[in-house]
Amino acid sequence: MNIVVILKQTPDTESVIRISGDGKSVVTDGFKWIINPYDEFAVEAALKIKEKHGGKVTILSYGPQRVVEAVRTALAMGADDAVFIDEEHLESCGRIKVAQAVAAAIREMNPDLVFCGSRAVDMDMAQRGPMVAEFLGWPHLAMATSIECDGKKVSIQRPIEGGKVTQESTLPVLVTFGGSHAVWNPRYASLPGIMKAKKKPLQSKKLADLGLDLAEFTPEKAKVRVVSLEMPPERKPGIVIDGGLDTEGKARELVRLLHEEAKVI
């Protein structure tokens, strides 16, 4: 069972966001970079299937050289090898072009399964998985919170409002993973795992190595562009009803404020 996990490196969710001078990007100086948490779920799911059925788990990532650190972390978790699309400005070409490059790399590996997170915690667009599946011409099972595989087909459960639904697909298939850390509980990279990861194969590739036309991978080709960024407006301070009123008086004053100022009743 050969599984490819698409991995994205994202800023830590506790990073302080500042808009840069161009008004279209954020200042990344001082960011702590991590594996996108939803991609961690995908890595954990792939490792569990490998432990049950055997095979190999390959990490596939892309971007600037700093991403290699995240790839090595996934290798330390237990993945076998990795492919890194070494193109620093690939994401500036647009998400469709990123998906096209990722799909081209996947075709060369000919896996049975492709896993990735259902979303990324930076832009939160939830487009990567469906786009890659479309380029591959594969079925796509979304937002899995559990997965079973018998070597011929895959079955997942995904949440829906008020319950859950079970979906199945034959191989090959692309699966995206949702849920929470409590659901997947991704394993930590152990010290022996970290030491082994340094010797595991990590192959770097350029777009040209994937048979792609470099002229088509420029920021001008992006279908969606960021026009501007702005911080959300500051909230007005809350009102504390006190003033020495008793409980009945506070309730009366609350009703008055909701009626006359907030105008919600």
Chain segment 95-148, per-residue pLDDT in tens = 999 999 999 999 999 999 999 999 999 988 899 999 999 999 999 999 999 999
Q: Please tell me the predicted confidence (pLDDT) of residue 140.
A: 96
153-160 vs 146-149, strand pairing mode: antiparallel
Q: Please tell me the predicted confidence (pLDDT) of residue 83.
A: 98
What is the C-alpha separation between 176 and 249, in angstroms, rounded? 54
Contacts (Cβ under 8 Å, ≥6 apart) of 150: none
> Over the stretch 12-51, which tens digit does the pLDDT of each residue have?
988 888 999 898 889 988 889 999 999 999 999 999 999 9
Q: Please tell me the predicted confidence (pLDDT) of residue 221.
A: 87
DSSP-derived secondary structure letter, 39: H
Whether the Cβ atoms of residue 111 and residue 3 lie closer than 8 Å to each other: yes
Torsion on CA atoms 155, 158, 163, 167, rounded to nearest 10: -30
What is the C-alpha separation between 65 and 194, in angstroms, rounded? 19
In a domain, 68, yes or no: yes
Residue 28 and residue 159 share a domain = yes
Residue 128 and residue 243 share a domain = no
Residue 255 and residue 186 share a domain = no
What is the C-alpha separation between 62 and 106, in angstroms, rounded? 12
Block residue for tokens 């479309």 = 134
Secondary structure class of 40 (helix, strand, coil): helix
For residue 245, is pLDDT > 80?
A: no
Whether the Cβ atoms of residue 12 and residue 138 lie closer than 8 Å to each other: no
Q: Find the mean pLDDT for residues 227-253.
A: 84
Q: Please tell me the predicted confidence (pLDDT) of residue 240.
A: 85
Q: Please tell me the predicted confidence (pLDDT) of residue 81.
A: 97
User: CA nearest 24: which of 255, 248, 157, 219?
Assistant: 219
Sequence-separated contacts (24+) of 243-250 with Cβ below 8 Å: none
Encoded amino acid at 24, one letter: K
Residue 191 and residue 265 share a domain = no
For residue 124, give its domain range.
2-221
Encoded amino acid at 175, one letter: V
Residue 106 and residue 10 share a domain = yes
What's the pLDDT band for 264 if we cut at 50, 70, 90? confident
Q: Please tell me the predicted confidence (pLDDT) of residue 236.
A: 82
> Over the stretch 186-217, which tens digit does the pLDDT of each residue have?
999 889 999 999 999 999 999 999 999 999 99
In a domain, 230, yes or no: no
Mean pLDDT across the chain = 93
CATH number at residue 111: 3.40.50.620
What is the C-alpha separation between 58 and 79, in angstroms, rounded? 6
For residue 9, is pLDDT > 90?
A: yes
DSSP-H helix ranges across the chain: 37-53, 67-77, 95-109, 128-136, 181-184, 191-197, 247-260
Q: Please tell me the predicted confidence (pLDDT) of residue 243.
A: 67
In a domain, 226, yes or no: no
Residue 169 and residue 125 share a domain = yes
In a domain, 229, yes or no: no
Q: Please tell me the predicted confidence (pLDDT) of residue 87.
A: 95
Residue 162 and residue 57 share a domain = yes
Structural domains counted in the chain: 2
In a domain, 227, yes or no: no
Whether the Cβ atoms of residue 97 and residue 90 lie closer than 8 Å to each other: yes
Share above pLDDT 90 across residues of the chain, in percent, rounded to a whole number: 71
Q: What is the pTM of this model?
A: 0.86
Residue 153 and residue 243 share a domain = no
DSSP-derived secondary structure letter, 19: B
For residue 84, is pLDDT > 90?
A: yes
> Over the stretch 65-81, which tens digit does the pLDDT of each residue have?
999 999 999 999 999 99
What is the C-alpha separation between 265 and 254, in angstroms, rounded? 11
